[in-house]
Amino acid sequence: MKETILIVDDEAEIAHFIQQFLEKEGFNCHTCFDGMAAIRYCQELKPILVILDWALPEMDGLEVCTRIRKLAQSPDPYILMLTAKGEDIDRVIGLSTGADDYVVKPFSPMVLVARIRALLRRSLREEERPKIYKTEHFTIDLNQHLAQRHLETQTETLDLTALEFELLATFLSHPGRAWSRTQLIEKLWGDDFFGDERVVDTHIARLRKKVELKPNQPSFIKTVVGLGYKFEDS
């Protein structure tokens, strides 16, 4: 079955160009041109991935991204943001958006396809792993796409994006292991990553806000100076 991709760009020419190219690559694509239509299409089509332009009229791409994440539907789509050169990438993948990756305009169609395939490969890698990871305070269930935090008196379901879920699953798969930024990029994006390693720091900061009781004094996701990060939980 072909994966469904939703393309959201107010410039119809660009949206249709992306659609034609991706359909030649074997994807099933739909297009829309504003934020409200994008949210409606996400509910109706349940795409595996959304290509979302930053500079949409009335409701910009960041707001659309946030609202898509609040739909709480399954599967939760990957979101790849299109942004013009010179825009603040930290905001694109920032703490309030939930975007999984970004591509800067103008872009090569082949680069776009590579980034899409890198995102979709995460789902395939999940199928090859054990279905449940569990530590003292956390459980990841890959079958149910469920992440939970266990406190002394209660169990809380974590509201994670697709990338945050994959990042936490990676940490829980090897508690205590130190991961370099390069290793995390390879694990999450694959060989097709084109970008700055600081994308890892931004996603770590966002994940800490959801799993740590005190994100500025993390108990679980620790910084390894000069290398990257590690997850500590028995």
CATH number, domain containing residue 31? 3.40.50.2300
Listed residues 125, 144, 161: the one ending a domain: 125
Residue 31: what pLDDT? 96
- Verify cis geometry, omega within 30 degrees of 0, for the bond prior to 77: no
| pTM across the whole model | 0.59
Distance between CA atoms of 8 and 2, rounded to whole angstroms? 19
Average pLDDT over every residue of 60-82: 83
116 in Cβ contact with 80 (< 8 Å): yes
Answer left, alpha or beta for residue 26, where phi above 0 means left and psi between -120 and 50 means alpha. Answer: left
Average pLDDT over every residue of 117-140: 75
156-177 pLDDT, tens digit per residue, is 999 888 788 889 999 998 888 8
Listed residues 69, 101, 125: the one ending a domain: 125
Residue 62 belongs to what H/E stretch? helix 61-69
Check whether 94 has a pLDDT greater than 50: no
Which domain range does residue 19 map to? 4-125
- Same domain? For 69 and 101 the reply is yes
Residue carrying the six token digits 């292991």: 177
Check whether 129 has a pLDDT greater than 70: no
Q: Which residue has the higher pLDDT, 91 or 119?
A: 119
- Same domain? For 76 and 23 the reply is yes
228 in Cβ contact with 175 (< 8 Å): no
Residue carrying the six token digits 């975007």: 99
Listed residues 125, 153, 169: the one ending a domain: 125
CA of residue 166 relative to chain centroid, distance = 8
Check whether 197 has a pLDDT greater than 70: yes
Residue 95: what pLDDT? 39
